[in-house]
Amino acid sequence: MTTSTATLKIQGDIPLDQEIESIIRSSGKITVGSRKGPEVIYGPDPRGLEILSNETRERFKAAGIDISKGYPTVPDKSKVPIYLDEALAIRDDDYTYVDRGKDADPEKKALFGAAKEVIHYTKNIGTEIVGLQLADLTDKQRDELALLIAERGVVFFREQKLTPQKQLELGEYYGRVEKHPQAAQVNGLPE
């Protein structure tokens, strides 16, 4: 068995943390992005277009999402946090969580009344709401949905016509949407 150790050489008066950051950002072995041969792709990934269905392309087009140069957008490695304090700074602000289901109607009349059908898959978990579009829910229905999810764990809505922007809006209604600066993203939307 062979073992080797690498020695970190500090050059000149460069602080150690800056030297480590430089090594991480310049390393060819550590990638954030998509590899195409020896090169790393940042920004819109043209290879992603190969697997997008026509239905998804049309949905993006209708939503104003530009995929002409590729999809998804892969973040630039230089913008990805390296240190814990940088990662924590992404959501380092005061935030008051609002429990949307707390004051909802326990009978969920607005939500269930607008559905064509409500199917409870088991006694305790899993419900399907038929005939409703998530994009069209009122705040009262959204609150009742929050309560239903808390009670049933899983709620299904099939055949949704939900743009990426509406998905983000719906997520933000329920709370803070987690940002992942190292993950691929929908073109033109915030991380």
Beta carbons of 91 and 179 less than 8 angstroms apart: yes
Query: What is the structure's pLDDT at 30?
Result: 61
Query: What is the structure's pLDDT at 4?
Result: 44
Domain count, the chain: 2
184 in a structural domain: no
Domain extent at residue 51: 30-91
Same domain, 84 and 114: no
Give residue-wise pLDDT tens across range 18-37: 777 777 667 666 655 555 55
Same domain, 35 and 86: yes
Same domain, 167 and 113: yes
38 in a structural domain: yes
Give residue-wise pLDDT tens across range 145-178: 999 999 999 999 999 999 999 999 999 999 988 8
52 in a structural domain: yes
18 in a structural domain: no
For 128, counting Cβ atoms within 10 Å of its Cβ (0-12 exposed, 13-18 middle, 19+ buried), the class is middle
Same domain, 55 and 81: yes
Write the DSSP string, 1-59.
Answer: -------PPPPTT--HHHHHHHHHHH-SSS-SSEEETTEEE-EE-GGGGGT--HHHHHH
- Between 9 and 53, the higher pLDDT residue: 53
Domain closes at, from 48, 64, 91: 91
Same domain, 84 and 53: yes
Give residue-wise pLDDT tens across range 92-124: 778 888 999 999 999 999 999 999 999 999 999
121 in a structural domain: yes
188 in a structural domain: no
- Between 60 and 77, the higher pLDDT residue: 60
Domain closes at, from 40, 56, 91: 91
Separation CA 66–CA 78 (nearest Å): 23
11 in a structural domain: no
Share of the chain above pLDDT 70, in %: 84
On the question of pLDDT at 6 being above 70, the answer is no
182 in a structural domain: no
Same domain, 73 and 113: no
Same domain, 73 and 118: no
Same domain, 79 and 124: no
Mean pLDDT over each residue of the chain, to the nearest integer: 84
Buried b (16+ CB within 10 A) or exposed e, 143-152: bbbbbbeeee
Q: Residue 183 — pLDDT band, cuts 50, 70, 90?
A: confident
Same domain, 81 and 114: no
